[in-house]
Amino acid sequence: MIPYGKHHLDEDDIQAVLAVLHSDYLTQGPTVEYFENAVADYTGARFAVAVSSGTAALHLAALALEPAPDSAFITSPITFVASANAGRYADCRVLFADIEPHTANMSPAALNELVTSKQDVSAIIPVHFGGLPCRMTEIKSIADEKGIPIIEDAAHALGARYEDGSMVGSCRYSAMTVLSFHPVKAIACGEGGMITTNDEMLYRKLLRLRSHGINKADDPFQISDQAQTGDVKNPWYYEMQELGFNYRLTDLHSALGLSQVKKLDQFIAKRRALANRYDEFFSGATNCQPLQRGLRERSGNHLYVLAINFKNLGCSRAELMLTLREKGIGSQVHYIPVPCHPYYKNLGHDPAEYPNAMKYYEAALSIPLFVDLDDKSQALVCSTFEELVG
């Protein structure tokens, strides 16, 4: 079976993890900070905070803004549910700005309409779908006019660049950027995530929130008479200063991530080459069209999505996916629009309010794209689609 996505591992990755297994620290050791520094250096951000997953990163980023209860978070309807759930974790309402049809990214026009009509928006979470950065200059301009902070969901987009050439993750257009290191993403930790920021106060708060709310770095103690004996700091003493979580990343995961980030540019180049090859093949197709065609150079190319006219084909998406599976080719749908899920429908969201998202969902199918996809396997994918789709 050729999967739609898969991690790449080599001997360097294995040896990096083995080195930690032979070291004094499996968790809360120095490798975590090495990994954070490597990602901060790569993206150009001042600070990076490693956490246990991309979902944990979204959760902590939402809490770090200290939004007013029942205020609103705005995100995209075409994303994994974690992007929206981050707002709910922070006791906020979630609103959805419809997408641009040709990119599946948040539409600045739809965002502007929402922001103009709502007076209590606490955060905007644009999602760089498939690895392609949103139109962040326009989104930031809309947010700045209303004083609304931005959290970029860049789970798909490590290694991507904005239109001005700067790196996604640099936080040039946001208060924080969230990354994911799930095995199908640009680099793999097994599980893991990271938040980048240029704001030192947010950085300190994130460090506390990921570790039970306990003071970190050189945060001052709040109960000084308990913290020291005379002029000497009590060596056992620490303080839980707010409600936090155990969202720490281990040294084992960090060692794998640190080894992988060194190869990130190679991974991105390979993904781009594969996506461009698909674009060339599908350029003459009548029953399917590639999403984000012509935008591969700036993208992390996490996904390759086709918009397929199933009505013309005379078959359903389920039938096509099952036939592909029989022929050894995996596929997936990214994503069911968040407002379609029962939880969000029960909150009063109507999927019909997002026509672009629904039209995208009716046609979308992700096909195999990953670093180890070889020429023979990609040729098989192409020839099979030529046979089945035309």
Q: Please return the burial class of 22, using the count of CB atoms within 10 Å of its CB with bins 0-12, 13-18 and 19+.
A: exposed
Residues 58 and 205 in one domain: yes
Domain range holding 280? 264-331+368-388
Among 261, 280, 298, which residue terminates a domain? Answer: 261
Residues 98 and 184 in one domain: yes
What per-residue confidence (pLDDT) applies to 268? 98
Residues 228 and 282 in one domain: no
Residues 244 and 317 in one domain: no
At residue 177, the 3 state secondary structure works out as strand
Among 211, 235, 261, which residue terminates a domain? Answer: 261
What per-residue confidence (pLDDT) applies to 217? 79
Residues 168 and 278 in one domain: no
Q: How far apart are CA 251 and CA 325, in angstroms?
A: 37
Is the CA virtual torsion 231, 232, 237, 240 positive or negative? positive
Q: Percent of the chain having pLDDT more than 90?
A: 97
Residues 215 and 277 in one domain: no
In the chain, what is the straight-line distance between the N-terminal and C-terminal CA atoms, in Å?
22
Residue 178 within a domain: yes
Among 233, 261, 289, which residue terminates a domain? Answer: 261
Across the chain, mean pLDDT equals 97
In this prediction, residue 117 has a pLDDT band, given cuts at 50, 70 and 90, of confident
- pTM of the full structure: 0.97
Residues 256 and 320 in one domain: no
| pLDDT per residue as tens digits for the range 331-343 | 999 999 999 999 9
What per-residue confidence (pLDDT) applies to 202? 98
Is 170:196 a contact under the CB 8 Å cutoff?
Answer: yes
The residue-averaged pLDDT of 123-146 equals 98
Residues 86 and 232 in one domain: yes
The residue-averaged pLDDT of 217-229 equals 91
| pLDDT per residue as tens digits for the range 189-220 | 999 999 999 999 999 999 999 999 999 878 99
Which residues lie closer than 8 Å to 50 by C-beta, 6 or more apart? 32, 35, 36, 39, 192, 193, 194, 248, 249, 254, 257
In this prediction, residue 390 has a pLDDT band, given cuts at 50, 70 and 90, of confident
Q: Percent of the chain having pLDDT more than 70?
A: 100
Residue 358 within a domain: no
| pLDDT per residue as tens digits for the range 251-290 | 999 999 999 999 999 999 999 999 999 999 999 899 999 9
Residues 140 and 62 in one domain: yes
What per-residue confidence (pLDDT) applies to 148? 97
How many domains does the structure of the chain reveal? 2
